[in-house]
Amino acid sequence: MHRKVILELDPALLKMMGYQELISKIEYIEGMDTFKIETHSASESGICKVKLKQGVKFTDLEPVTTPLGLIIELLGEKDGIFVCFFKAKLEGRAAELLKSIKSDLIYSLPFYLSEEKVILSFFGVNENIKSFLDTLKNFGISFKVVSLQKPSQENILSVSLTERQREILTTAKNKGYYETPRKVSSQELANQFGINTATLLEHLRKAEKELIDSVFAFV
């Protein structure tokens, strides 16, 4: 089950990435349709919008490109917003961070960089998302989860639960087991499935735990 996660990262990350000089000349960089991070080569590329600080010209960005291994190619400009292609080869601790990410993630939008805010978005399964967040913590990068797309009830029931758990849990819900007062007892449910009460309760306990873990993961 894939979730979309939007993180707001500590802007101090930009210094670690070697972007401090670049960021000092812009208001923001915002990702557009194409955005890609390659962890194995510690590089990132894509199409972005760039708004420069007052008094800064686009050509003023050129002196900061070489130390970063950064390529910025102007594609167009409208109302002071530049549309650019960029490609950056990260080095040092930033490269170590990317190369240490072993989980498979699909990076997405929004992607946003400024002196005050860094936004990163991606899709992944629970295990890989947790691995990525643990990597950020290990590198001392603070963050907060801005958005975590919750799975629908249908997805939870079809993915998180076994067929038997789903069958028993659905029947318990439909028969009124979770209503107050209960309309059916655990013994009656057990008899319906031809199992003893202890076995039925164990199926329900495991199913409930799976649902709770899925809903509250990373929260």
Q: What 3-state DSSP class applies to 111? A: strand
* Same domain (yes/no): 93, 157: no
Average pLDDT over residues 65-91: 78
Domain shared by 111 and 14, yes or no: yes
pLDDT digits (tens, 9 = 90+) for 121-176: 988 888 888 888 999 999 899 999 998 876 544 444 444 678 888 899 889 999 99
pLDDT at 96 over 90: no
Residue where a domain terminates, one of 133, 148, 163: 148
| Total domains in the fold of the chain | 2
Domain identity same for 107 and 205: no
The amino acid sitting at 121 is S
DSSP annotation of 116 reads S
Residues 175 and 79 in one domain: no
Structure tokens at 100: 């240490």
- What's the pLDDT tens digit per position in 23-49? 889 999 998 866 677 777 777 788 889
Q: Say whether both 120 and 182 belong to one domain.
A: no
Q: Are residues 169 and 208 in the same domain?
A: yes
CATH number at residue 184: 1.10.10.10
Q: Both tokens of residue 94?
A: 């930033």
Residues in CB range of 216: below 8 A, 6 or more apart: none
Residue 158: the pLDDT is 46
Q: Are residues 134 and 43 in the same domain?
A: yes
Instruction: Quote the domain boundaries for residue 112.
Output: 2-148
3-state DSSP percent of the chain in helix, strand and coil, to 5? 40, 30, 25
Domain C-terminal end among 148, 178, 200: 148
| Same domain assignment for residues 112 and 11 | yes
**Two tokens at 27?**
């208001």
R_g of the chain computed on alpha carbons: 24
**Tally of residues, the chain:** 219
Question: Are 85 and 165 within one domain?
Answer: no
Q: Which of 205, 7, 17 is nearest to 94 (CA)?
A: 17
14 with 58, same domain: the answer is yes
Q: Are residues 119 and 137 in the same domain?
A: yes
Domain boundary among 97, 132, 148: 148
Q: What is the pLDDT at residue 69?
A: 63
Sheet with 43-52: strands ordered across: 70-78, 81-89, 43-52, 26-38, 106-113, 118-125, 2-9, 143-148
Q: Longest Cα pair distance anywhere in the chain, in angstroms? A: 78
Q: What backbone torsions phi and psi does residue 177 show, to the nearest 5 degrees?
A: -65, -30
Residue 140 shares a structural domain with residue 165: no
